[in-house]
Amino acid sequence: MESATQVGAAAQPSSASASVIPSAFDGTLGRHLARRLAETGVRDVFSVPGDFNLTLLDHLIAEPSLNLVGCCNELNAGYAADGYARAKGVGACVVTFTVGGLSVLNAIAGAYSENLPVICIVGGPNSNDYGTNRILHHTIGLPDFTQELRCFQAITCFQAVVNNLDDAHELIDTAISTALKESKPVYISISCNLPGIPHPTFARDPVPFFLAPKVSNQEGLEAAVEATAALLNNAVKPVIVGGPKLRVAKAQKAFLEFAEASGYPIAVMPSGKGLVPEHHPHFIGTYWGAVSSSFCGEIVESADAYVFVGPIFNDYSSVGYSLLIKKEKAIIVQPNRVTIGNGPSLGWVFMADFLTALAKKVKTNTAAVENYRRIYVPPGIPLRREKDEPLRVNVLFKHIQELLSGDTAVIAETGDSWFNCQKLHLPENCGYEFQMQYGSIGWSVGATLGYAQAATDKRVIACIGDGSFQVSKIIRIQTICVQNIKDNIHMFFFFIHCSPSMKFCPKWKLHHKPWLNGYNHTC
């Protein structure tokens, strides 16, 4: 995907920054942005105040439908916006110029890797400072205001630098709509003196967004369906494997339609966990090559046709590119392209359209499901923990499994939590989130805050290694505790420590605060 940059016209003279709270009669940039965020579904904006964004924050606070959540630093705000976008479909954060923008970069890069529409708003230099060769604070000491922009160009799908009110309306609307259409982060820099200045383009409430639906090329769709159906209907024991791009394609319902119609066993790639219904009677587990769920790898790799829906084959998900998958037997369904074996690859064929149409063409075939049921042996139950015995990881996760229901969601941190949470069986409607592609240590604590703010009907269970927690810093927990009390959010944290003897110890209750005592986590 190519990145697009739109920079406002040359700076126009304007008055000094004024902190003016907009009324219903003020057509200002700040109010327009606030209303646009609310229209997209954003209700919580994660922010770190700074002198370049204070006026803008006043206008966001003044919008009744927005709640400003203050974060301890910009990285935390970005992680929270990431978690929020996972539950709500879109997230937003507001930081200050350069010193804040460069701090939030890592979180935005993670959102880009996970195809999450995060709107990153930066309070920028006064519009009168552009072109003056002045050196500003919060920069690296050069009279060049583009350093931050250049960094964001690689990790956002659109960048808007708003330093002129004449084109501000267009730039803001284009940025937000592009984030929603592409399901990627965008960058919006707004000069610090512009949010409170009235302008004719903001004289009325913004017209609601209309995003034209993407429609498949009909001839390409028909050709893809016919070729795929012919391959699958001639197969003896085909299987379906769901991947992480099911989310960005918004194709989970169509995936289930195809699974129901075909009767094939359903596996999930490790990076797609949570996007495939594990309560379905044909679900056979996680396909992860040599470390797949018991008996799942055998069924997938012995199939004579496999439909991979939204896969990402990286070194993690392929166990070092060691998957025993043959290209000629694989149908690869991406969000806007279908590739059938060694044959045709058809573009502008959208995943949901394709799966819905394919469901009407395939013959029901339960041979692979029956094979799985013949060889399947239920997993053993962990032995009870003896008195004074250190807590074992399998006993811990047995209890976590018992906590899960349709009213819960699991957030799994990079590392041991990844691998152990993969073994959890998710009940119907149980959420599950992790960051397998980018794998940023410490992501989960901020993401838990954002996810919980968006999914107020869920009790969020976060599994975090104590090393990752140290990266996240305790002060972020303080932010979570404040929001927990304020918004009646329900969360469990499990801090998992790996000692030299590979014993694990959870910290069940935050108020014990064991991390304040030298990080001695030995049970």
List the chain domain ranges.
29-202, 218-375, 393-494
CATH number for 393-494 (one of 3.40.50.970, 3.90.25.10, 3.10.50.40, 1.10.3720.10): it is 3.40.50.970
SS3 69: strand
- The pair of three-digit structure tokens given for residue 419, joined into one six-digit string: 């691998």
The bridge status of strand 345-347 relative to strand 337-340 is antiparallel
Phi, psi at 321, each rounded to 5°: 60, 45
Residue 483, pLDDT score: 58
Q: Is the pLDDT of residue 267 over 60?
A: yes
Q: How far apart are CA 32 and CA 37, in angstroms?
A: 9
* Average pLDDT, integer, range 221-229: 98
430 vs 401: CA distance, rounded Å = 11
What is the percent of the chain where pLDDT is above 90? 71
Do 29-202 and 393-494 fold alike per CATH?
yes
* Four-residue CA torsion sign, 307, 312, 317, 322: positive
Give per-residue pLDDT as tens, 176-220: 999 999 999 999 999 999 999 999 999 777 777 788 888 999 999
Given this model, what pLDDT does residue 484 score? 54
Q: Which residues contact 351 (CB under 8 A, 6 or more apart)?
A: 245, 246, 249, 251, 254, 309, 310, 333, 334, 335, 336
Residue 16 has pLDDT above 50, yes or no: no
Pairing of strands 266-268, 283-286: parallel
**Is residue 163 over pLDDT 90?**
yes
121 pLDDT tier (thresholds 50, 70, 90) = very high
Q: Distance (Å, rounded) from C-alpha 55 to C-alpha 16?
A: 11
CB atoms under 10 Å from CB of 167, counted, come to: 17
Query: Which class is domain 218-375?
Result: alpha beta
The stretches of 117-251 forming alpha helices (DSSP H) are 147-153, 168-182, 218-233, 246-249
Which tokens in the block code for residue 283?
A: 């679900």
The answer to whether the annotation marks 353 as part of a ligand binding site is no
pTM over 0.85: yes
CATH superfamily of 29-202: Thiamin diphosphate (ThDP)-binding fold, Pyr/PP domains (3.40.50.970)
Whether 64 and 96 have beta carbons less than 8 Å apart is answered as no
Least confident among 48-52, 320-324, 501-505: 501-505
